[in-house]
Amino acid sequence: VSLITLNPRPLDRALRERAASVLPGGVYGHVAADLLWPGAPQFVGRAEGAHFWDVDGNEYVDLMCSWGPLLLGHRHPAVEEAVARQHGLVDCGNGPSPVMVELAERLVGVVDHAAWAMFAKNGSDATTLCLTLARAHTSRTTILTAGGAYHGALPWCTPVACGVVPGDRAHLAHYVYNDLDSVLAAAETHAGDLAGIVVSPFKHDAGFDQELPDPAFARGVRELCDRTGALLILDDVRCGFRIAYGSSWEPLGIAPDLSAWSKGIANGYALAAVLGAERVRAAAASVFATGSFWFSGDAMAASLATLDVLEREDGVAAMQAWGRRLWDGIEAQARERGVAINLTGHATMPYLTFPDDDDYALGELFAAVCAREGLFLHPRHNWFVSTALSDTDLDVALRAIGCALDAVVAAPGRVAALDG
Ligand SMILES: Cc1ncc(COP(=O)(O)O)c(C=O)c1O
């Protein structure tokens, strides 16, 4: 396969022009190409496995995995087959199809802390439902979240406050990730009214170096919840099934009371889940949780097939091994060139920035050259590894990264800063 992407993108440009008149601001949200680099491809033509093609036909090794959902790569045959089979029976019916029960049984079997499952469509549905369940269970109101952590784009959690009124965010208080004292202090301020504490598996805030969880922090938050009766809510929407085949805090030995899932659980089909401990079952059965598409079968069939493949192929270990080789290769190439980098996060979800690159000038240059060389990644957000990535893809990725690091070293006016 040829992976040359220096071509102009006339079709992308034409679509952007049409989009500008019928989509507000052009393409909105996290997929807006202005967040990549000038001239980045906005529109995707097709995708297969670990590769995708922009609308102009340029091919890329995909290190974003559609921002997480593609755990097994695009259009995985086992998933597509399961979806086609379910679709031939019923997708959006007057009630759920049997796959809903099968999937709930499966998730309860796979995820240690889970005694039951509820389904929805997006990660924001799942995190929001977790807050509702914590309040229903405790009859209290305050929820703690880490300052700057992303839990979705609804008014209570969107990072952009435009259109949000203070009431939307009432009854929320914040702590600093990995700083147990800050959690204890916030809990003390809201003593008697603490319904839940939301934690991310690791600190994966976009635009900041990532931080793995301090086990003492995770244990301390769990103990605080045990002591106060507040529920520990793990937002596994982004990390789910990339860090562990189970909840992402299982390797730490910490069981949340509720976990929120979406993104990868159905390999690109729209599905979210809330998994919960036995003690939250009564509250979960009491709230009114529903949506027009929340019971649709195709995505649930996709999820069952995704879990089958992950299990059969030890997919989590495969992603971690590939990600580790990528990580080591990046570090080695940066060292060889004397380029200072910040490579943080988890092997399956790495994040690369350059020191003092506050305006992301170097990050954008790096990502643009990677794309020119056939590797798609993001300058401002963590990347995602899938099981579809091959040894050849690793070679392409490391060669592209080498070219991109060369470009960073050559960037006028920045060499001194890098040398220093
Ligand atoms: C940690 C986390 N929680 C929640 C969400 C919200 O998910 P969605 O965009 O599907 O609503 C995201 C999405 O990126 C996320 O990364």
204 CB-near residues (< 8 Å, 6+ apart)? 150, 210, 238, 239, 345, 349, 351, 382
Confidence band, pLDDT 50/70/90 cuts, at residue 207:
confident
Q: Which residues is 116 bridged to in the sheet?
A: 276
pLDDT at 418 > cutoff 80 = no
List pocket residues of ligand 1, CB cut-off 6 Å: 122-124, 127, 150-152, 200, 235, 237-238, 262
How far is the C-alpha of 133 from the C-alpha of 370, rounded, in Å? 44
- φ, ψ of residue 49 to 5 degrees: the values are 60, -130
Ligand 1 mutation pick, 127, 349, 351, 384, max ligand atoms within 8 A of CB? 127
pTM across the whole model: 0.96
Ligand 1 atom nearest residue 154's Cα:
11
Give the closest residue (by CA) to ligand 1 atom 13.
152
Ligand 1 atom nearest residue 123's Cα:
7
* Region 337-362 average pLDDT: 96
Nearest 5°: CA angle at 272, between 267 and 276? 125
Ligand 1 mutation pick, 31, 119, 263, 348, max ligand atoms within 8 A of CB? 263
Give the closest residue (by CA) to ligand 1 atom 4.
151
Instruction: Summarize pLDDT for 304-317 with one digit per residue, the tens.
Output: 999 999 999 999 99
Instruction: Summarize pLDDT for 134-186 with one digit per residue, the tens.
Output: 999 999 999 999 999 999 999 999 999 999 999 999 999 999 999 999 999 99
